[in-house]
A = this chain, B = another copy of it.
Amino acid sequence: MSSLLPGPNSLVPFVSVDDMMRLLIDIGTERMLCELADAIEEDFRRWELFDKTPRVAAHSEKGVIELMPTSDGEAYGFKYVNGHPQNTRSGRQTVTAFGVLADVETGYPLLLSEMTLLTALRTAATSAMVAKHLMPKNAHTMAMIGNGAQAEFQTLAFKAVCGIQRVQLFDIDRHATAKVARNLEGYGLEVISCQTAEEAVQGAEIITTCTADKQYATILSDNMVGAGVHINAIGGDCPGKTELHRDILTRSDIFVEYPEQTRIEGEIQQLDADHPVTEVWQVILGRAAGRTSDSQITLFDSVGFATEDFSALRYVRKQLKTRPFFTNIDLLADPDDPRDLFGMVARKEQKLVQGLV
């Protein structure tokens, strides 16, 4: 009967939402954000190794479903992610995701993981890692505009990775702001809830925008952005959805993950297709200038890229060796004789008939 149990090649470790929460709690949120930022930066340093392609998107009236594959030649990863702004009306998440890491040598999956939580973590870690390279020296205050599901993760990543000590919150929904302020209690941050976006950006060296409306919006207008700030623009991330007034873009030096994708999805969809942008990996490797003056406005036009998910999945897989928050699932067929898939079923049927399984 043992031959009817799933063989070793059939099992794939699966990290459920519950497992991911336990992993995050076990490691600690700020530590995990720091380690994710390091893992993501490490892969940005290997940028040229990766197979890169804009994500494969299926758009509908209600939202988008995307597949984001990449590979470094040894491992292959992809993420399934949706974006449906109206989902909150039915008690669902705007963004949910899961992902897979696989072995390029055999094509066999090595890990299946929830990525709703992991995407929130990697997005925040990426933002903070990039800001570390671009923000003004000794920045200590961040404006956090948009107090949805990303806001706490963004704030804690900027605390842990960039050393910010104060966050100024604003959302058109006061309940959202209250939720973030409550959740951030006890983390040693000064948390200020603001009545207007103008108030939130006062004195902030870093401005993070992360709202969810699927439309062209002006969350930040030009007069709100003073010299020298770093803007971390998260919410402009699909065609037809932007957050910044165009005039801010033309005043800023713009940094992007992967121009081919950002020009379709990011804030820069408002600009000409040849508007100059700098790739983040080039700044990290010292091949392109980052911040060059105190008065310069730096803008990270973040849309999220497949390598960030790949880095996050690799990080999680590594953690599972010492923190076994996963279950094995029987995802792959593993017949005794690999050419005998049919026989595997036939033998199963015999055993079922004999009442042995």
A165 in contact (CB, < 8 A): no
Flag whether A346 is at the interface (Cβ < 8 A).
yes
User: In residues 130-163 of chain A, which contact B (Cβ within 8 Å)?
Assistant: 147-149, 151-153
In the complex, which of the residues B60, B102, B176, B341 contacts A104, with contact meaning CB atoms closer than 8 Å? B60
**Residues 41 to 69 of chain A near chain B (Cβ within 8 Å):** 51, 53, 56, 58, 60, 62-65, 67, 69
Are B90's CB and A348's CB within 8 A?
A: no
Given the contacts A102-B82, A106-B90, A107-B87, A96 and B332 also touching, CB distance less than 8 Å: yes
Interface stretch among A13-21, A256-264, A266-274? A13-21
Residue from A62, A65, A102 with most neighbouring chain B CB atoms (10 Å): A65
When distances are taken between beta carbons in the complex, the residues of chain B under 8 Å from A106 are 62-63, 82, 84, 87, 90, 92
Interface residue tally of chain A, by bracket? 35 or more
Q: How far apart sit A82 and B100, CA to CA, in the bound complex (Å)? A: 13
Q: Does A349 contact B (CB under 8 A)?
A: yes
Residues of chain B within 8 A (CB-CB) of A56 are 53, 56, 67, 69
Contact A92 B116, beta carbon cutoff 8 Å: no
The chain B residue sitting closest to A88, CB to CB, is B338
Q: With A and B bound together, what is the CA distance between A307 and B63 in angstroms?
A: 21
A241 to chain B, nearest CB (A): 15
A44 to B333, CA, bound (A): 28
Q: B9 touching A331 by the CB < 8 A rule? A: no
**Partner among B92, B176, B331, B342 whose Cβ is within 8 Å of the Cβ of A16:** B331
What sequence of 0s and 1s flags, for each residue 84-100 of chain A, a beta carbon within 8 Å of any chain B beta carbon? 10011011111010101
Contact of A116 among B182, B332, B340 (CB under 8 A): B332
Residue A235 lies at the interface, judged by CB distance under 8 Å to chain B: no
Minimal beta-carbon separation of A107 from chain B (angstroms): 2
A76 adjacent to B65 (CB under 8 Å)? yes
Would A183 and B87 count as touching, CB distance under 8 A? no
For A29, what are the chain B residues with a Cβ–Cβ distance below 8 Å? 345
| Interface pair B69/A58, CB less than 8 Å apart | yes
Q: Does A35 contact B (CB under 8 A)?
A: no
| A148 neighbours in B (Cβ, 8 Å) | 339
Q: A96-B109, A148-B339 are in contact. List 5 more A-B contacts (CB 8 A).
A: A60-B73, A63-B107, A92-B334, A98-B331, A120-B342
Q: Which 8 A-B pairs have the closest CB atoms?
A: A82-B107, A152-B342, A116-B333, A16-B330, A149-B341, A84-B107, A88-B338, A21-B348
